[in-house]
Amino acid sequence: MKLATKDLLRLATIGSVDDGKSTLIGRLLVDTRQLFDDQLDAIAEASEKRGVGDLDLSFVTDGLRAEREQGITIDVAYRYATTPTRKFIIADCPGHVQYTSNMATGASTADLALVVLDVASGLKEQTRRHLCIAALLGVRSIIVAVNKMDAVDWSQLAFDRVVDEIVTLARELDFTSVSIIPVSALLGDNVVESSSNLPWYDGPTVLDALESSEAGAWEHTATQGARLPIQWVLRQPGGGRTYAGMVNGDTMHVGDRVTLLPANVETTITSLHFGGDEISEATVGLAADVGLAAETNAGRGDLIATAPLPTVSNELKTTICWFGEKPLVVGQRLRLKHTSKVTPVRVKIINGVIDIAKLDIDDSTMLNTNDIGLATLQTAELLVVDDYRVNRVTGSFVLIDEATNATVAAGMVGHASFL
């Protein structure tokens, strides 16, 4: 048996608590036979012990003791599934508002969001919040599983009402690909197997939609110029140096004209290596190392780029998801990590907080826990950035508490067009 080459699709589940995200993922994994017999036995045993029926599908991903006791998801669970042509990395995210930072962790690397909502309650505020965060994080494709269809007697009317709400919001948030599917995660209808309870629906199942979605959207959102943030300098035998980092934005080739930033030195790529072997080109996502013609003192935190060049600045207009326990205020000092560079940063201006219901900006001057707002930041050192919508790698950063080293915010350069 020769296993075929596979591509890789990363997806995150999003939506409000109790709408059935973990159950849907459990159903998907069970019905595609991704679970081993001993894992299924363990889930059945745990279900019986906690008195929640024969097989509580949410236990497939809710693996922590506290999660099983409380019947909720606290942190992201990563699960893996394979079909003949594709490997899936599934981030099953928590729905509670207090765990928004964990949801953002799961969604920040997703090509696609699998939105789960309860047909009876429609778009809750928390689902709107998650969709808004997913859109800000650059997710462009969503599959919406309208769940618990069994509880509304498989009513097309109930489904259509929710579809209208979703379509309106998806348009506002600029999603480019939207599939809306009526399902029962509990019973398995339209998850992997088509449902005979829904004769009025002839669209794809959740699995069909996942298999036909575009893989690698995360890596390929960038459309302008190649970028290589330098992580580490390697000394070559014979005295030369090469600069190691992951290529993004576009392929790099030997002979390409590049600019080293922020020093602004124009030069040429003289060699490319991967794992010590010479290569002629380095594609997006490759952890390569690059030799340059110019003698430079380049090091970690510098960036090698092809045109069009990124921006060099120490003042950034940004969108911030704030996870700190205390509010973020003007004048506050933190540490900022952007690509391979870490620098002190100060909050210069807070331009307001996003009102999730209206999708506009209010005039708040501080960000409370789990608020998303716009802020202007001033960094101690120059940063080399692209707008987040052009390049997710050079457009993203995190803020770090200087005392505890905790990550307290996710930041994006620029702001979404829907704001």
Partner 1 sequence: MTTTPLRTSHTTDHLDLLESHAIFILREVVAECERPVLLFSGGKDSAVLLHLAVKAFAPQQLPFPVMHIDTGQNFPEVIAFRDATVERVGARLVVAKVQDSIDQGKVVDPGFMGSRNRLQTVTLLDAINDNNFDAAFGGARRDEDKARAKERILSFRDTFGQWDPRKQRPELWQLYQGKVNAGEHVRAFPLSDWTELDVWQYIERENMALPAIYFAHDRDVVLRDGMYLAIGPFVEPRESETVERRTVRFRTVGDANCTGAVLSRASTLSAIIDEVALANVSERGATRADDKFSETAMEDRKREGYF
Tell me how far CA of residue 373 lies from CA of 134, 250, 347, 359, in angstroms. Answer: 15, 31, 12, 11
Please tell me the count of residues contacting partner 1 according to CB under 8 A. 77
- The gap from C-alpha 81 to its chain's centroid, in whole angstroms, comes to 18
CB 375 within 8 A of CB 347: yes
- Site residues (CB under 8 A) for partner 1, limited to 9-38: 36-38
- Work out which of 51, 199, 237, 308 binds partner 1, going by CB under 8 A: 237
- Work out which of 70, 164, 176, 274 binds partner 1, going by CB under 8 A: 274
- The gap from C-alpha 44 to its chain's centroid, in whole angstroms, comes to 32
- Site residues (CB under 8 A) for partner 1, limited to 72-131: 74-80, 82, 87, 89, 101-102, 104-105, 108-109
Helical H segments across 85-225, by residue range: 100-107, 125-136, 156-172, 206-211
Least separation in angstroms between residue 3's CB and partner 1 is: 7
Q: Counting Cβ atoms within 10 Å, is residue 327 exposed (0-12), middle (13-18) or buried (19+)?
A: middle
Residue closer to partner 1 by CB (options 196, 404) is 404
Between CA 274 and CA 238 the distance in angstroms is 18
Residue with tokens 């290596």: 273
- Work out which of 52, 151, 279, 361 binds partner 1, going by CB under 8 A: 279
Residue closer to partner 1 by CB (options 280, 417) is 280
- Site residues (CB under 8 A) for partner 1, limited to 187-226: none
Residue closer to partner 1 by CB (options 278, 355) is 278
Tell me how far CA of residue 297 lies from CA of 64, 245, 269, in angstroms. Answer: 48, 16, 15
- Site residues (CB under 8 A) for partner 1, limited to 365-404: 392-393, 396-398, 400, 404
- Work out which of 152, 254, 356, 366 binds partner 1, going by CB under 8 A: 254
Q: Is 281 in the site for partner 1 (CB under 8 A)?
A: yes
- Work out which of 155, 224, 340, 351 binds partner 1, going by CB under 8 A: 340
CB 147 within 8 A of CB 115: no
- Site residues (CB under 8 A) for partner 1, limited to 308-327: 323
- Work out which of 97, 244, 366, 382 binds partner 1, going by CB under 8 A: 244
Stretch of 17-25, 235-243, 350-358, 365-373 lying at the interface with partner 1 (CB under 8 A) = 235-243
- Site residues (CB under 8 A) for partner 1, limited to 33-72: 36-39, 42, 45-46, 49, 61, 63-66, 68
Residue with tokens 């029962």: 184
- The gap from C-alpha 74 to its chain's centroid, in whole angstroms, comes to 18
- Work out which of 212, 236, 297, 311 binds partner 1, going by CB under 8 A: 236
Residue closer to partner 1 by CB (options 283, 313) is 283
Strand 265-274, strand 257-261: pairing? antiparallel
Tell me how far CA of residue 45 lies from CA of 15, 56, 125, 342, 349, in angstroms. Answer: 28, 10, 35, 48, 54
